[in-house]
Amino acid sequence: MMRLSAALRVFLLIFALVLSLSSSAQRSPQKPQKPKAPAKPAATEPAAQPCPFARPDDPSHRIILHDGNYQVAGKCEIIGDRVHYLSAERYEWEDLPTTLVDWDATRNYELGQTSPSKIAEAAAVDAEEAAERRQRDERSPEIKPGLRLPAQGGIFLLDVYRNNPELVELVQNGGEINQNRARNVLRAAINPLAKAKQTIEIKGLHAAVQSHLPQPVLYINIDMDQDPGARDISDRFRIVRATSKKDARVVGAIEIAVYGKVSQKQNYVPTRATPLNSQWIQVVPAQPLDPGEYALVEMLGKDVNMYVWDFGVSPTAPENARAWKPAPVADTETGTRDSPMLNKRPPKE
């Protein structure tokens, strides 16, 4: 009995100690939590300000730099520490630091207060740039709005697919001579004086390029010195009608007389050839072409170059692969497609 009482006293003592510790922990003050620092607001781009031109309504402006150079801008605004402008030469939006711009010289130029030497220098630069633009237009003339012929030259067909103009390159295709030996042997057996006939053929039943217009326009810019005997451009390039034959197209025939004279025959289509400028020639069929296969041929004197540029006419053909299309211009707030307005850039996140 004495042992039980002693054990009970030890248990009660431990229980009282646990209660005491728990009550003291509840009475001890809790450390206050530090408030979180407010999140920094996202940095926003400064509002755009118009460039301080002397004549802001002019269609183009010359932004003169401190080093004497300048940039021609169609539209311009200042965003923070940079000038954001639409280049009138490259037709792209570009930026330059505001510290590079001499705004006083820019305004003086617009007001005609530049010194005579500066005016003469600027006029010389303008004349040089105008000459460069003329040379560029000679090499790469614009045939439709936003659609230019390439400066490297070649032969191209102007097509219209679903009311949209497209420019398609014609690749030169090598013709092969079919000697038709069996027929010529039979013809000679029947008539020893008959001419031997051979055909100029290109493989495949259809050309890779198909015009959806019955009267396509062909643009030509190749080395014109290859044939010194060419008399004029109307005789240099012609269009022939090709006829189908099994898995090939016949673009011409060669006749060989028994005494050795060789002559060529083709089914020519009347065409009109006119110079577009000093580097490009424009060839157009005189009448709408019937659906079928055709080829643009180069005349080497009275004979035809066996390397031709084949195409077809088929209004229902699918769109030509790798066709060049006019550069798209988005609708703008001004309601015009000529000079896009400056759009505010979205704030940086």
Q: 248-263, pLDDT tens digit by residue?
A: 998 876 555 444 444 4
Residue 102: band (very low, low, confident or very high) from pLDDT cuts 50, 70, 90: very high
Which residue, among 240, 241, 216, has the nearest Cα to 303 in the 3D structure?
240
Least confident of 47-51, 243-247, 343-347: 343-347
pLDDT at 90 over 60: yes
In which element (H, E) is residue 197 found?
A: strand 196-203
The answer to whether the CB of 304 falls within 8 A of the CB of 237 is no
Model-level pTM greater than 0.85? no
The answer to whether the CB of 217 falls within 8 A of the CB of 210 is no
The pLDDT value recorded for residue 346 is: 43
> Which tens digit of pLDDT belongs to each residue from 158-192?
999 999 999 999 998 887 776 554 443 334 444 44
The pLDDT value recorded for residue 254 is: 59
Averaging pLDDT over each range in 91-95, 311-315, 345-349, which range is the top one? 311-315
Compute the CA torsion angle 209, 211, 217, 218 (nearest 10 deg).
Answer: 10
> Which tens digit of pLDDT belongs to each residue from 200-218?
888 999 999 999 999 999 9
Neighbours of 264 (CB within 10 A): 14
Residue 346: strand, helix, or coil: coil
> Would you kindly state where each structural domain of the chain is located, as residue ranges?
49-122, 147-313
Would you give the DSSP letter of residue 173?
E
C-alpha 155: how far from chain center:
17
| pLDDT, average across residues 86-95 | 87
d(CA 20, CA 17): 5
pLDDT at 340 over 60: no
Buried b (16+ CB within 10 A) or exposed e, 76-87: bbbbeebbbbbe
d(CA 56, CA 292): 57
d(CA 349, CA 328): 29
Residue 127: band (very low, low, confident or very high) from pLDDT cuts 50, 70, 90: confident
d(CA 244, CA 282): 27
- Non-local (6+) Cβ contacts of 302 within 8 A are 264
**What is 259-317 written as a DSSP string?**
TS-EEEE--EE-EEEEESSSS-EEEEESSPPPSEEEEEEEEETTEE-SEEEEEEE-TTS
User: Could you give the C-alpha distances from 162 to 169, 183, 317, 318, 325, in angstroms and in order?
Assistant: 19, 46, 11, 10, 12
Answer with the residue of higher pLDDT: 91 or 162.
162
The answer to whether the CB of 164 falls within 8 A of the CB of 170 is no
d(CA 302, CA 9): 134
Q: How many residues does the chain have?
A: 349
